[in-house]
């Protein structure tokens, strides 16, 4: 079973997701597992979300 969850709330993502696609300007700019997203974000937009 898959669920698509759209949110800016990183706490919800941390609790509910295994993998995450970060979208910016209508494009997926980063796709990774939750652990990597929080510990080593690559895209500047992803880094900005965590501040």
pLDDT in tens, 1-35: 889 999 999 999 999 999 999 999 999 999 999 99
Provide CB contacts within 8 A for 38, sequence distance 6+. Answer: 10, 14, 50
Band (pLDDT 50/70/90 cuts) for residue 36 is: very high
Structure tokens at 30: 């980063």
The residue among 34, 2, 1 whose CA lies nearest residue 15 is 34
Residue 32 contacts residue 39 (beta carbons within 8 Å): no
Q: Where are the domains of the chain?
A: 10-49
Asked if pLDDT for residue 47 goes beyond 90, the answer is: yes
């Amino acid at each position: 079973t898959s669920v698509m969850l759209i949110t800016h709330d990183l706490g919800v993502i941390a609790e509910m997701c295994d993998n995450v696609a970060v979208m910016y300007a209508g494009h997926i700019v980063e796709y990774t597992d939750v652990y990597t997203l929080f510990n080593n974000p690559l895209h500047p937009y992803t880094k900005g979300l965590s501040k």
